[in-house]
Amino acid sequence: MSLKLAVLGLLDLEPGSGYALLQRFRSSLGFFWQTTHQQLYKELHGLHEQGLVDCETVSQESRPDKKVYSLSARGADELDALLAKAASPTKIRDPLLVKIFCGRRLQPEALRAEVESHRLEHEKTLQLYRVLYEQMGKLPAAVRQRYHHPLLTLKLGIRFEETWLAWCDEVMGEL
Amino acid sequence: MSLKLAVLGLLDLEPGSGYALLQRFRSSLGFFWQTTHQQLYKELHGLHEQGLVDCETVSQESRPDKKVYSLSARGADELDALLAKAASPTKIRDPLLVKIFCGRRLQPEALRAEVESHRLEHEKTLQLYRVLYEQMGKLPAAVRQRYHHPLLTLKLGIRFEETWLAWCDEVMGEL
DNA sequence: CCAGCCATGTAAATCGTTACATGATTGC
DNA sequence: GCAATCATGTAACGATTTACATGGCTGG
């Protein structure tokens, strides 16, 4: 259900092709709701069949044709209906934590290497989030207004990454 | 794959029936890797077929029979093999964040109510984690040693919940 | 007497990942 | 020439969720 909400929500911000949506996904919603192009295209087909999005095929020179989707009136209603429902509670699903939980049979160095490598990833992600945060601060006021809610989620992303780093450092000391 | 690792890891800590494992799941690993009894029983059947766990049926008075599973020698090898693989990177998947991201069409009060209710949940969870943390500190030294790795994951759980609370407070001020 | 715990399972439906597939254009 | 970007899809498989199913015992 969240994928449907995510797609409608992205189209509410602005229309676009499946390909373009996927890119926006990857640099915003994708931080806390991943998808693949296969899933996204399938979802768009489904939404179109149900009349929740409009679709216009656009021919391009020196590039494949594309289908530009936009939110229909019924889609906007559906979006409101989805937003009216309570969000189901957050669930963490983390293979690294499973591994650490089960890690007593493993050499400490092996685990430390793993934690170290994840730490690096989180550092990169934090950097990225901070750059995006800066960028959003520089947007024209009208646009910034529209992206106020996405910005709130980005703030949580930053807090989470900082938390990861602090924990990785703590764990490195205890392994 | 993480479920397999999780089950083998739990059995490595101590044997138990599917039912008992599920309860341990819910108060430890389940904080960052959920499962249902259906999935767990199926996994146990699969592991048993592959000879990775041993299974002994125990009759009980005034209670249904149970099947007590334990890690076999081959299961221990498999566990080591799984632990040798790198854990795939962490992905957050959070319906609440999707909702907030898409929430600009919603009344601020509606979103605030949602955030408030999630905040309460996180507060409860934090309380629970802290109690569990205290309890683990009081275990006999030998057992505490065995649960050192689970404790590390609990520490992250506590940090995460604190992060959630801080963010909820921040967001409440900005909606 | 009813709810909840103990204890195990099957089946269907949905969701998500991975592999396979195409084909032109642009930049190094 | 080779890799990456643009742009879209099908198919198979695996994972996860939800519904259905049973039945005795314990505590309030």
* Contact between the CB of A55 and strand D at under 7 Å: no
**Could you report the per-residue pLDDT of A20-33, keeping only the tens digit for each?**
999 999 999 999 99
Chain B residues inside the 8 Å CB shell of A114: 86-87
Q: Which CATH number fits domain B2-84: 2.40.50.100, 1.10.10.10, 1.10.10.60, 2.60.34.10?
A: 1.10.10.10
**Could you report the per-residue pLDDT of A97-116, keeping only the tens digit for each?**
999 999 999 999 999 999 99
- Written as tens digits, the pLDDT of chain B (175 aa) is 899 999 999 999 999 999 999 999 999 999 999 999 999 999 999 999 999 999 999 988 888 899 999 999 999 999 999 999 999 888 889 999 999 999 999 999 999 999 999 999 999 999 999 999 999 999 999 989 999 999 999 999 999 999 999 999 999 999 8
Interface contact flag, B160 A160, Cβ < 8 Å: yes
A59 Cα to chain B: minimum distance (Å): 30
Chain A residues inside the 8 Å CB shell of B84: 106, 110
* Contact between the CB of B36 and strand D at under 7 Å: yes
What does the DSSP assignment read for chain A?
-HHHHHHHHHHHH--EEHHHHHHHHHTTGGGTS---HHHHHHHHHHHHHTTSEEEEEE--TTS--EEEEEE-HHHHHHHHHHHHSPPPPP----HHHHHHHTGGGS-HHHHHHHHHHHHHHHHHHHHHHHHHHHHHHTS-HHHHHHTHHHHHHHHHHHHHHHHHHHHHHHHHHH-
Q: What is the domain partition of chain B in residue ranges?
A: 2-84, 95-174
Interface contact flag, B101 A149, Cβ < 8 Å: yes
Interface contact flag, B153 A97, Cβ < 8 Å: yes
Q: Tell me how far apart the alpha carbons of residues B119 and B163 are, in angstroms, rounded to a whole number.
A: 11
What does the DSSP assignment read for B98-116?
HHHHTGGGS-HHHHHHHHH
Strand, coil or helix: B61: coil
Interface contact flag, A83 B97, Cβ < 8 Å: no
A73 Cα to chain B: minimum distance (Å): 13
The dihedral built from the CA positions of residue B12, B13, B17 and B20, taken in this order, carries a sign that is negative
Q: Which residues pair with B111 in a beta bridge?
A: none
**pTM for this model (two decimals):** 0.92
